[in-house]
Amino acid sequence: MRSLFIVNPATGETITAVPAGSASDIDRTVQKAQRAFEGEWGHSAPRERTAALQTLAAAVRDNAEELAQLECANVGKPIGSARGEIGYAARVLDYYAGLASVARGETVGLSGGLGLTLREPLGVCGLIVPWNFPLVITLWKLAPALAMGNTVVIKPAEWTPLTVLRLAELAKGILPEGVVNVVTGTGAEAGAALVAHPGVCKISFTGSTMTGRAIMASAAQTVKRVSLELGGKSASLVFADADLEKAAGSVMSVFDNTGQDCCARSRYLVEKSIFKDFVERFVENTKKLIVGDPLAANTDLGPLVAAAHRERVHGFVERSGVKPLMGGKKLDGPGCFYPPTVFTGVAPDAELAQQEVFGPVVTILPFESEAEAIALANNTLYGLSGSLWTQDAARAMRVARAVRTGALSVNSSSSVHLELPFGGYGQSGLGRELGPQALDAYSEVKSIYWAQ
Ligand code: NAD
């Protein structure tokens, strides 16, 4: 069997190798998941699923340090962030453990009889995951899928399968055989086979918009349910009346996870009267960030995930033809390190202001009026996240309603909340994850008419 070599992006060393799964591996695994769905799990009571999810959450907590070290080594995340993500992953399981028992149907009085609605699981769900938050994004999908009684086949990203493989080991003994399955492999082979498989009822995908389009087209052949969480080019709008220190201090809203975050505020739109002052403060704050060893406690930015990805990020910088205020050069030495890079003077329609770079690169653009700020924010094919900084509550409400994006933070750079639905407008995606709404994405509603 062919292998995928798994590399530590901070050192360039190979950690291990995993199988490159084929279409027949996918077929075998989907059949296993179908049998598990037809067995006790597919007929389990909500409270049994609550108990299983709680036990899995406890197992994640019991193995948290090992999982954090794995995520740190495989993705290059600073160890503090990796520990935070593992704790959060366990909370996702706990949250859907609670909701498993809450999801229920309705009774409706009808002429000549009674209507009932039942919430039923879909069957085998294919979960396709990217490399930037491997365990967390897996659990955004896995926890609601299990809460509703589905079985799953997970296809982790080719660079970062290690925590997901460990999670599947932890699930053994907690969940019946065949409920949680992982097939490692490339997107072109294992991923595409999962999407095309007639035994898979739903694909939940997180990744690039380009891959999302291909998945949607392929899933159409079998009319699969699809949820797509895709790319972003989110804006942070800073008005002249904002708390400037806080707004210019929000540098991690773009540089967190070394910019490899679909919610990264990679476009700052700043009112002209404060533009110069804002840029100076933003650059000053960015210069304080420490790029380096992910295992060091004070590191803010680890490496990019892979050498090929660093080339892609640097390509955007080079093609821009604009000299950045800081950064913009690959860092010497082993590993895929890249410095925080700040641009001004980029045209709003230029590639750098339009395309998702998915690295530590920000463009800061000026605006003169509220209407222009909204127009610039909406001048994108994406619509995933965003921030808005102002002390004027009426303006905050007006602008929040006018910006076409799935999530927006006022005077904050936070992006995702477990209790709130998360997903994109425009080409940032289809459907919502998280919140109680995620349960809808993993269930069918059956209507029954009972004549009296
Ligand atoms: P990607 O689209 O290259 O790959 C994502 C996953 O899809 C991987 O597991 C890959 O193997 C698989 N894949 C690739 N081609 C496939 C195909 N033809 N059929 C089936 N599966 C296939 O994305 P990436 O580079 O791993 O991740 C970065 C992208 O993910 C960015 O665009 C980012 O914005 C996006 N992302 C979005 C969210 C969100 O919630 N909206 C969250 C994180 C990342």
The mean of the pLDDT values for the chain is 97
The pLDDT of residue 380 is above 90:
yes
From 74, 205, 208, 222, give the residue whose CB has the most ligand 1 atoms within 8 Å, as the site to mutate. 208
Task: Say whether 219 sits in a helix, a strand or coil.
Answer: helix
Q: Say if residues 364 and 347 touch (Cβ distance below 8 Å).
A: no
Task: Say whether 306 sits in a helix, a strand or coil.
Answer: coil
Q: Say if residues 282 and 270 touch (Cβ distance below 8 Å).
A: no
Regarding whether 127 and 20 lie in a shared domain, the answer is yes
Question: Would you place residue 102 in the very low, low, confident or very high pLDDT band (cuts 50, 70, 90)?
Answer: confident
The gap from C-alpha 293 to its chain's centroid, in whole angstroms, comes to 24
What was the pLDDT predicted at 104?
87
66 residue type, one letter: E
Dump pLDDT digits (tens) for 239-283: 999 999 999 999 999 999 999 999 999 999 999 999 999 999 999
Dump pLDDT digits (tens) for 38-97: 999 999 999 999 999 999 999 999 999 999 999 999 999 999 999 999 999 999 999 999
* Inside any domain, residue 415: no
The terminus-to-terminus CA distance of the chain in angstroms comes to 61
The gap from C-alpha 328 to its chain's centroid, in whole angstroms, comes to 26
What was the pLDDT predicted at 450?
96
The pLDDT of residue 103 is above 90:
no
Q: What residues line ligand 1, using a CB cutoff of 6 Å?
A: 128-132, 137, 155, 157-158, 186-188, 191-192, 195, 206-208, 211, 214-215, 229-232, 262, 356, 358, 384, 424, 429
The pTM for the full model equals 0.96
| Number of separate domains in the chain | 2
Dump pLDDT digits (tens) for 166-182: 999 999 999 999 999 99
What was the pLDDT predicted at 162?
98
Query: Whose alpha carbon is nearest atom 6 of ligand 1?
Result: 130
For residue 297, give both structure tokens: 């406690």
What was the pLDDT predicted at 205?
98
Regarding whether 154 and 27 lie in a shared domain, the answer is yes
Whether residue 229 lies in the annotated active site:
yes
Regarding whether 249 and 224 lie in a shared domain, the answer is no
Order of strands, sheet of 180-182, starting from the edge strand that comes earlier in the sequence: 180-182, 151-155, 124-128, 202-206, 225-229, 429-430
Residue with tokens 């296809």: 155
- Residue 327 domain boundaries: 235-410
Question: Would you place residue 222 in the very low, low, confident or very high pLDDT band (cuts 50, 70, 90)?
Answer: very high
* Inside any domain, residue 170: yes
Average pLDDT over residues 335-345: 98
Regarding whether 241 and 174 lie in a shared domain, the answer is no
The radius of gyration of the chain from alpha carbons, rounded to an integer in Å, stands at 23
Percentage of residues of the chain with pLDDT beyond 70: 100
Query: Whose alpha carbon is nearest atom 34 of ligand 1?
Result: 231
Cα angle 413, 415, 419; round to 5: 135
Q: Say if residues 42 and 200 touch (Cβ distance below 8 Å).
A: no
- Domain containing 70 — which CATH number? 3.40.605.10
- CA-to-CA distance for 70 and 82, rounded, in angstroms? 9
* Inside any domain, residue 121: yes
Regarding whether 51 and 25 lie in a shared domain, the answer is yes
